[in-house]
Amino acid sequence: MSFLVVQGNPCNPTLAPYIALLAKWSGGAEVNSIYRGQDAAAILHAHGKHTQAEIHQMFPAISNPPGRSTHELRSDGVAYPGPIGRHLEWWQQGFDVNDSEVAAFKLHASRHGWELFQPYSRGVEFHHLNFRSRPVPRGFDRVQVIRLRATLPRH
């Protein structure tokens, strides 16, 4: 998979501009994690971040094992129904923001007709967000998505 990088986080090129725009619209909010698959290890390590396998090794009690995380575009059986481990669509990518910025992300998404939800709304995973359905840009949003996609670093 090729990646665009949003604030040091690899992301599939279709979703990256949506997350970057939400961060921008939320006053420059921080995106802490997006894609954490093994195929992005070099990008993650270059930015001081970890793969899902590494996170699970460090925190086995509070993280999903590899192959069962929306951060790897794999179903965990919680965020989206269906078999655990199945491949998810590009827009079902899980991502993390600061707890204090969750509300702003959700507000700005709703202003543009996109719905974000927190599949694990309590405890250590409060910061985790997913799209409820495929985000579709409307009007000027379409131009912003195209422009922003062209400016994000590509790997």
Q: Are strands 116-117 and 9-11 parallel, antiparallel or unpaired?
A: unpaired
Q: If you count DSSP H runs as helices and E runs as strands, how many of each does the chain have, helices first?
A: 5, 6
* 155 vs 9: CA distance, rounded Å: 11
> Given this model, what pLDDT does residue 13 score?
92
Report helix, strand or coil for 32.
Answer: strand
Contact of 43 with 10, CB cutoff 8 Å: yes
95 in Cβ contact with 79 (< 8 Å) = no
- pLDDT at residue 48, as a whole number: 98
Supply the range of the domain harboring residue 101. 4-151
d(CA 30, CA 26): 9
Gyration radius of the chain over CA positions: 15
pLDDT of residue 140: 65
Take residue 25 and report the two structure tokens written for it.
């619209």
| DSSP H or E stretch at residue 24 | helix 16-25
Other CB atoms closer than 10 Å to residue 99's CB: what's the count?
Answer: 10
Q: How many domains does the chain contain in total? A: 1
pLDDT in tens, the chain (155 residues): 799 999 999 999 999 999 999 999 999 999 999 999 999 999 999 999 999 999 999 999 989 999 999 999 999 999 999 999 999 999 999 999 999 999 999 999 999 999 999 998 677 899 999 999 999 887 767 777 777 677 777 87
Q: How far is CA 73 from CA 11, 18, 51, 69, in A?
A: 10, 16, 13, 7
